[in-house]
Amino acid sequence: MNILILEDEELAARQTVDFLQRAGLTTNVPPVLRSVEKALAWLESNPMPDLLFSDIELLDGNVFSLYERFRVTCPIIFTTAYDQYLLPAFRGNGIAYLLKPFSYEQFAEALDKYQFLRGSFAGATPAPAPALSPEVLRELSQALRQNGQPRYRQRLSVRVRNGLYVLPEVAYLQADEGVVFAVDGAGARHPLTGTLTELEAQLDPARFGRLNRSELVNVAFVERVEPYFNNRLVVKLRASTASLMTSAAQTPEFRRWLEG
């Protein structure tokens, strides 16, 4: 059975391989690719695998950019730490969505689903999968939450030559000419992958609040807030000379967030 794994975390990739060997689906280590570009090159030069295990955030970006550039026709089992990608996952070839950390029992259930679908379509041309209704999507999203709470990113990282650099505590995020930067407490700027809106959805709203169209601030770094002209607020940061400012339209929501 030909299997491909897209995963940038070494421990997660090793667990997937271990679970596959435990399930008896492979004796050899399947290819493990850590970036969108390497995955694209592999898919363009190799036969389509029977099954694809896919993380969503890879070293150089979101994996859905890969599926927009290359038509993957095999089933995909998504393995990720975030539940906000549920809808795009099932719009494509996704047949299962495993939230990290997942157990072998959950992994085996996803494999059982793959085997069932493969048996159902054996000898026949499969019809296009029906679209999932909003009601079903809501139920799936709720089922993917632990203790009724969504899972948010606990840390941010940037790609460096030899891997990933895990950022220290981030004071704020700032979009500048199409690139989002994480600014740490020392004022250093680190480029991130994704838009500010995408990153906002991945971060805990109790920690990161929207200031304006281009900035999010970490409440742990807010020292004081002062009124400014035209219903705007100046936000002073702890141990920093930087000052941020809300937009007039965002000020009421920012006040509610800060007092919440």
pLDDT in tens, 140-184: 555 545 444 556 777 788 777 767 788 888 999 999 988 999 999
Helix 10-22 with 104-121: angle, nearest 10 deg: 60
Question: So what's the pLDDT on residue 86?
Answer: 66
Question: So what's the pLDDT on residue 126?
Answer: 47
Paired strand residues for 234: 226, 245
CATH of domain 3-143: 3.40.50.2300
For β-strands 94-99 and 76-80, DSSP reports them as parallel
Amino acid at 79: T
Q: Which of 216, 192, 215, 193 is nearest to 204 (CA)?
A: 216
Report the distance separating Cα 165 and Cα 152, nearest Å: 19
Stretches in the chain below the pLDDT threshold 50: 125-133, 136, 144, 146-148
Report the distance separating Cα 257 and Cα 47, nearest Å: 51
Q: For domain 167-259, give its CATH number from 3.40.50.10310, 2.40.50.1020, 1.20.58.1030, 3.40.50.2000.
A: 2.40.50.1020
pTM for the full predicted model: 0.53
Per-domain residue ranges of the chain: 3-143, 167-259
